[in-house]
Amino acid sequence: MRGELKVVSIKGKWSIILFALAIVIGAVAFFQNQQASGTEKKNVKQDTNYKNVEIVTLVNDGKFMRYAVNYPLFHQKKLDDKIQSYANSVLEHFKKTFSEAKDISENKRYELNIDYDMVHYAKQSVAIHFTTYTYTGQQKGTTHSVTINYDFQKNTFLDTEDLFQPKTNYLKKLSYITYTELQKDKTLSKDQSLLQKGTASTTQNFSQFALKENYVEFYFPASQVAAEDLGPQTLAIKKTLLKDILKPEYMNKTKNQNEIKEPNPKRKAVELPQKSKLDPNKKSIALTFDDGPNPETTSKILNALKQNKGHATFFVLGSRVQYYPGMLTDILKGGNEIGNHSYNHPLLTRLPLKQAVKQVEDTQQLIEKASGYTPTHFRPPYGGTNQDINQAVGMKVSLWDVDPEDWKIRNSQQIINHVLSHAADGRTVLMHDIYESSARAAVKIIHELTKQGYQLVTVSELEQLKKERNEPAPVQ
């Protein structure tokens, strides 16, 4: 009896020891797991810019996994539920991926970041643009964006079609404006097939947008309209360009006024693109003007072009753009084209390659800053260039067929006679818009060529016409 009791006592002690050991092992495992996955901290604070909005932040900084999630709350149940559902679903998927991972380390710490931008907040509607970055051990992380638009007055979420009046071909108009505007950027226009496909009139192409105070801004993910390495692209279309198809409530200035001043969009369409009225069967000539702008003389040429419904290309110098930036807007307003003619007119082939390229790049930046326009054509001073310069600049090189040497002659009638006697279909004429004699000659040349039945076109338009005619491109 005593022996049996002793045996029971020994068994009882081992049970207690094993139970205690299990607790210790469990505690250690729990502690290690906490170290690995961390502990979530939640914070809710008032948004300092918007009085009715709170900002929720979830943070976890584990040894092998971390995340930071930010989202707004509006105290509008339908909207808040949607936002929380989005944030929670992304977070739960991230946690699940981490829990199932087999190869984790401090060097490849899993990471999730959800942040947002309050793109627009007004009485009528709100637009929240979420950006999510995820890293789960692969070579590089991934970035994904989504935009939520909500109409407070209608208590409903907005898709693109909800912005426009019924039975309007809004997609066709959005496609036309977007393609025309984006192709002005030489980096985007390199892959024409991708740009055309990404801006085609489909619902999917224009599904990501933000309804703003004065614009409807569209978001295009990386690889939709341009190569993936160029990243996502945006275009804000001014509402006035859409006033014939946009619903009246979204044009209302009072209801759509943002609570704080909205920043100016980085890329925007503020004028409807002019549809080409060129006739491929009609003889065409490209007048080009170098070394400007000059307010006194360039303006005279612009007026003559406007009166005769003609276009021309102005190859400007960066040094002059600095002094007369407003002239670029005047040039573009008439449907004319701006080209790059270097900063201060050196013979580029006599410069080190780096300096030659800087001449063009500095001018490009000045033009873009002054007008928002990105030139696609470059004319080297004196026509002096080489393959290395052309390749480094990465622009179309535009030369000429007809040169009256107006910079040297300074006699208007002689300039007129030379140009008119050498004019022919498909030719490019070189002149300069900084001399009074050249400006007077240009006015008469413009009138006379128009009278003779010529279409006065830009270099780009001449390229397009020659393509339609299956002819060689203009002199390059």
Give the active site residues. 290, 432
Q: What is the DSSP string of 165-182?
A: -TT--HHHHHHHHHHHHH
- Distance CA(344)–CA(246), nearest Å, equals 46
257 three-state secondary structure: coil
- Distance CA(331)–CA(27), nearest Å, equals 75
Which stretches of 317-402 are assigned E, i.e. beta strand? 337-340, 377-378, 396-397
Phi, psi (deg, nearest 5) at residue 7: -65, -45
- Distance CA(240)–CA(139), nearest Å, equals 45
- Distance CA(390)–CA(385), nearest Å, equals 7
- Distance CA(151)–CA(210), nearest Å, equals 12
Q: What is the DSSP string of 429-449?
A: EEEETTSHHHHHHHHHHHHHH
- Distance CA(426)–CA(206), nearest Å, equals 38
Angle between helix axes 412-422 and 436-451 (nearest 10 degrees) is: 40
> Which residues are bridge partners to 125 per DSSP?
151
119 three-state secondary structure: strand
145 three-state secondary structure: strand
The H or E element that residue 421 is part of is: helix 412-422
Neighbours of 120 (CB within 10 A): 23
> Which residues are bridge partners to 314 per DSSP?
289, 338
- Distance CA(464)–CA(457), nearest Å, equals 10
In the chain, what is the straight-line distance between the N-terminal and C-terminal CA atoms, in Å? 113
- Distance CA(359)–CA(470), nearest Å, equals 34
> Which residues are bridge partners to 156 per DSSP?
151
Q: Which amino acid is at 402?
A: V
The answer to whether residues 338 and 318 touch, using CB atoms and an 8 Å cutoff, is: no
- Taking alpha carbons only, the member of 180, 173, 174 closest to residue 195 is 180
Residues 6+ apart with CB under 8 A from 305: 311, 312, 334, 336, 446, 456
- Distance CA(30)–CA(47), nearest Å, equals 36
